[in-house]
Each structure stands twice: as structure tokens, then as C-alpha cells.
Amino acid sequence: MNPFAASLLAVVALATSAIATDKPNIIIFLVDDMGVMDTSVPFLTDDAGEPVVYPLNEWYRTPSMARLAAQGTRFSTFYAQSVCSPTRATVMTGQNATRHGTTQWIRPEGNNRGKFGPEAWNWTGLKKGDVTLPHVLKSAGYRTLFLGKAHFGPLDSEGSDPLNLGFDVNIGGACWGRPKSYYASDHYGNHPKYGKKVTHNVPHLEAYYDTDTFLTEALTLEANKEITQSVEADEPFFLLMSHYALHSPFHSDPRFAPNYVDSDKSKHAKAFATLVEGMDKSLGDIMDHLDTLGVAENTLIFFWGDNGSDAPLGGTHTVASSAPLLGKKATHYEGGMRVPFIAAWAKPNASNPEQQRLPIAQGTIQTQLGTIMDLYPTILEIAGATNPAEHIYDGYGLSKLLCGQSDEAHPDVFLMHFPHDHRSKYFTSYRNGDWKLVYHYYPKMNKQSSHYELFNLKDDFAESQNIAQQNPEKLYAMVQAMVAQLEAEEALYPVDADGNELRPILP
Ligand SMILES: [Ca+2]
């Protein structure tokens, strides 16, 4: 090698190592179907911003989440979409569901529009070439790792494979929104006993077949291997640790079942609690592994759930699964869209230069609201990555809120648009400050139908009193603001039996 080339190589090596040390590792720990109450960590607060422990917090066991929460900041009010695919596309793009157009969960086998859903909704999900968080981070020098449930596109689509969407590694991700089985004895849904037309089979985990390794554990072991590989290669990594847990089927995790035998709750409720505890162990195992490898101080963890709780604990539109909140996954109430969110360094150290750039407050609760759209700009900023100029996103950076401050530039607004039929049908919910509007679209009106529900969440967080009639001016202003945001985000609307768009009507 000539001397010039050698010195050039040395410069490149120096530059590469400088980049590596400037970039923190980033983990999104995304738990499927985990609502804000599915944990022993209290997220809801009283009027003074102090955490309140409710009975569900006493039922679940999540010590690793408590450890993470003690090291960082959690939000009392963090919003996701009410079902899987809309949130997952938002994680990847930073766009609200109205804008990316995947407003309903993707049915792998075909269009899940429903009878009156918009024709043009994006049922095929993400595509090759879309601007995604892993693509952008990869451009900024990250190794990008995907583990677990993907559900970014239907069967045989480009989006069904995370490798087409900017990830260097995919273990476990496919078009399926749930596993057929959490058990290694069932080969996680790949066992020959299921026949030829197998669905919901989790790929890539052959090494664990016929062991006693629960799906959550297998994914954790694989994640830790990939983390090791990145650290050994001295590459910063972005890991989307996307657990299939806590989604149904509610298969009991035998490691934790003894903790719940004495309860009089249902078999499914107990199994759900074991899924929660297995997920929590995964978080702790990954934190421990980062510490063992000596990279915990340089690793940022964002923990959150992808939609409201699906805990099998009672009626869908009652105060049960998410008590004291009303409703659960796929409803228009708070229980459908409030999720746990914690941000923390995996090992806090005030003298670490990367942590000095984002000194996340420890053991605190942020009561200003945040949304899943906010992760995209927040992560880009800390990673030193640049959003492509043509890409519109809808979130606002969370840095000030994570550091324990209030942020007047961050709007107290969340728009969730669901022009489809699920547990709740054809609605838009719009949170603005203390107020929440729910607008209902009716393909067929009847005498009892009302378009409007209005709640003041400060006075009534359980949404027990619809006060639309008593507050006509506030109702009008809220509908007007909701319509403006729907239009700005190019929303598609449900249709009536003749195919006419059902746009919101001002009161
Ligand atoms: Ca989900």
C-alpha cells in the first residue's frame, strides 16, 4: 500500500470512530397491545402531577419497567392509534395515520376496509422506497435491527418484510399481527400439525423449536446476540424490539404462571399477566446485557405500547381493562389510545457527553401530552440524522419534555381518525388541551344517532359525562379545529351506501 493510501485509510478510520462515539445506540422497545394500565408502574397522576396507584397497578408485575422509569421520564398522557398497523406505520414515518393512510389494521389476506371505509385507504401499508426511520438512521451510520412483530404490510407485499423498509436484520417479522403460538413446542406456529396453509407463523426461530423457550424469550435472546454483534463491530445500532406480546392468543407463560394461581381472575386474565411479566423480563435482560457489554451509558431506550389495552378483564366499552379509564383497544375512549411511555438512558451518568446532550430527567412524570408521532423527530435529533426534505412528518420533538421541562412549542393536541368498523365504528377523536371531542360518522343515521361527544378530561378523565349540549361554543370550536386538521393531513372519510363521502358536519 502506498503511504498516501495508508494515511487516507487512517483518516477514514479516525472519522468513522468519531462518528461511532458521537451516536448513541437507540432502542425502541415496542410492546404490542399494551395499554397504560397494564403495569405495576403508575402512569396516571393526580392534579398535582403525583402518580396514583390503582388496583390494576397492584395486579401486574413489571419491576424492569419500574427500574427504567426510575432512571428516566414517563408520560402520564401519551397517545397512540387505537389499533396496530396505524401505529406501526407512524413509528416508521412520523406521520399521523390520516397522512400515511393506513388507518385500520392490515388484514394480511386482503383489504380490511369494511363496508363503509374509504376506498383509497392505504391497506397495502409501507412500500420499498418509503422514507422510514430505519432508512434515515441507516444513512446516518446506524446498523438497523428489527426483532419481533412487524405487521407493516399484507401477505406477500413489499412491506411484509422489514428488510425492504430499511432494516439490516429481521428476526421474527412478517405480515402477521399476532403469533399463532407463543410456544416452542408449536414451533411458534410453524409445526407440521398446522397443515400446509399455515398462517400467523413466526419466522426465523428454528433454533428454539422443541425447547422450553417462550416466544418473548427467544426474541430477547436473538436481540441480545444482535446487540453484541453491533458492539463488537463498533457500529451504533438502532433496535426496534417489537414484541408479539401482549397480543392474543393469551398463552400462559409457564415461567410466571405460579405468580397468579391464587387469583380468582379468569384463565385468560392470568395468562395475559404472564405475558406482561415475560415482556418485562425481556426489558430487564436487555438492560443487563447492555451493561455487561459496557454500552448502557451510550444507549437510549424508548419504551411504549402500540395501542390501548386488550386485557381480557371485562366489557369493551366499560371501565374494566384500562380502569380507571374507559374502554380498551380499538375504541374511541381513552382506554383505546393511552399507552405507557418511558424514555431513559440504559444507565444514567451525568458526566457522559452523549447524555449531556439529552439529560433526561430521572424518576419523573411528564404531564404535558406526547404522541407516537413525536418519536420520529426526537430520534432523528439525538442521532444527528436528517429528515429528507420532501418527507412531511406530524410529530414534535420531545427533548424539552424528556428533560423535565414544559414546552410551549409542543401542542397539546392529538387527532385519531378511524374511518372504519371495529369495536368502535367510524369516528375521529380529537384531544385539544383539557377537552376531547369524539365525532361519529353514520353511514346510516337513526333517531338516536349523535355526531358529537364532548368531554372535559381534566374534570372527567373517565369520560362519564358527554357535555356537548351544555357547551355549544366549545363544541363548535372543537369540531372546526378537528376539521381543519383532518383537511391539513389529507384525511379520507367513510362513505354511505351510495359511496358518498361522509365529511364531518359542523354542529
Ligand atoms: Ca397492537
Please write the tens of the pLDDT for every residue from 73-122. Answer: 999 999 999 999 999 999 999 999 999 999 999 999 999 999 999 999 99
If asked whether residues 331 and 464 sit together in one domain, one would say no
Mean pLDDT over each residue of the chain, to the nearest integer: 95
Q: What angle do CA 190, 92, 423 make, to 5 degrees?
A: 70
Any domain includes 141: yes
Any domain includes 493: no
Any domain includes 397: yes
If asked whether residues 45 and 186 sit together in one domain, one would say yes
Query: Which pLDDT band, with edges at 50, 70 and 90, does 21 fall under?
Result: low
Is residue 14 over pLDDT 50? no
Any domain includes 474: yes
If asked whether residues 370 and 437 sit together in one domain, one would say no
Element (H, E) at 344: strand 341-345
If asked whether residues 64 and 118 sit together in one domain, one would say yes
Q: Dump pLDDT digits (tens) for 165-190.
A: 999 999 999 999 999 999 999 999 99
Task: Give residue 247 CA to ligand 1 midpoint distance, Å.
Answer: 7
The domain in which residue 378 lies consists of: 22-402
If asked whether residues 378 and 438 sit together in one domain, one would say no
Task: Give residue 411 CA to ligand 1 midpoint distance, Å.
Answer: 25
Task: Give residue 186 CA to ligand 1 midpoint distance, Å.
Answer: 23
Q: Dump pLDDT digits (tens) for 32-61.
A: 999 999 999 999 999 999 999 999 999 999
β-pairing, 413-421 vs 143-148, is unpaired
Task: Give residue 303 CA to ligand 1 midpoint distance, Å.
Answer: 14
Q: Structure pTM?
A: 0.95
Task: Give residue 250 CA to ligand 1 midpoint distance, Å.
Answer: 14
Task: Give residue 243 CA to ligand 1 midpoint distance, Å.
Answer: 10
Task: Give residue 306 CA to ligand 1 midpoint distance, Å.
Answer: 5
Coil/strand/helix, residue 218: helix
Task: Give residue 427 CA to ligand 1 midpoint distance, Å.
Answer: 19
Residue 424's domain is classified under what CATH number?
A: 3.30.1120.10
If asked whether residues 48 and 167 sit together in one domain, one would say yes
Please tell me the predicted confidence (pLDDT) of residue 448.
Answer: 85
Task: Give residue 33 CA to ligand 1 midpoint distance, Å.
Answer: 4
Task: Give residue 390 CA to ligand 1 midpoint distance, Å.
Answer: 29
- The domain tally of the chain equals 2
Any domain includes 205: yes
If asked whether residues 388 and 435 sit together in one domain, one would say no
Give phi and psi for 236, each to the nearest 5. -65, 145
Query: Which pLDDT band, with edges at 50, 70 and 90, does 20 fall under?
Result: very low
Task: Give residue 311 CA to ligand 1 midpoint distance, Å.
Answer: 12
Beta-carbon count within 10 A of 413 CB: 16
If asked whether residues 356 and 469 sit together in one domain, one would say no
Enter the C-alpha cell of residue 223.
436481540
Region of poorest pLDDT, from 1-15, 213-227, 330-344, 466-480? 1-15
Domain end call among 402, 430, 451? 402
d(C-alpha 369, C-alpha 335), whole Å: 15
Task: Give residue 60 CA to ligand 1 midpoint distance, Å.
Answer: 19
Enter the C-alpha cell of residue 389.
426534505
Q: Cα-Cα-Cα-Cα dihedral of 448, 452, 458, 464, to 10°?
A: 10
Is residue 132 over pLDDT 60? yes
Task: Give residue 105 CA to ligand 1 midpoint distance, Å.
Answer: 9
Domain end call among 337, 370, 402? 402
Task: Give residue 368 CA to ligand 1 midpoint distance, Å.
Answer: 24
Task: Give residue 3 CA to ligand 1 midpoint distance, Å.
Answer: 57
If asked whether residues 169 and 267 sit together in one domain, one would say yes
Any domain includes 407: no
Beta-carbon count within 10 A of 437 CB: 24
If asked whether residues 312 and 381 sit together in one domain, one would say yes
Please tell me the predicted confidence (pLDDT) of residue 445.
Answer: 86
If asked whether residues 310 and 459 sit together in one domain, one would say no
Task: Give residue 173 CA to ligand 1 midpoint distance, Å.
Answer: 14
**Distance of CA 206 to CAs 197, 202, 222, 279, 428, Å?**
19, 10, 12, 21, 43
Enter the C-alpha cell of residue 362.
430521572
Any domain includes 502: no
The residues with which 161 forms a beta bridge, in sequence order, are none
Please tell me the predicted confidence (pLDDT) of residue 447.
Answer: 85
β-pairing, 435-440 vs 425-432, is antiparallel
Is residue 6 over pLDDT 80? no
Domain end call among 354, 377, 402? 402
Q: Dump pLDDT digits (tens) for 294-317.
A: 999 999 999 999 999 999 999 999
Residue 297's domain is classified under what CATH number?
A: 3.40.720.10
Task: Give residue 329 CA to ligand 1 midpoint distance, Å.
Answer: 8
Q: What percent of the chain has pLDDT over 90?
A: 94
Task: Give residue 44 CA to ligand 1 midpoint distance, Å.
Answer: 21
If asked whether residues 310 and 452 sit together in one domain, one would say no
Any domain includes 436: yes
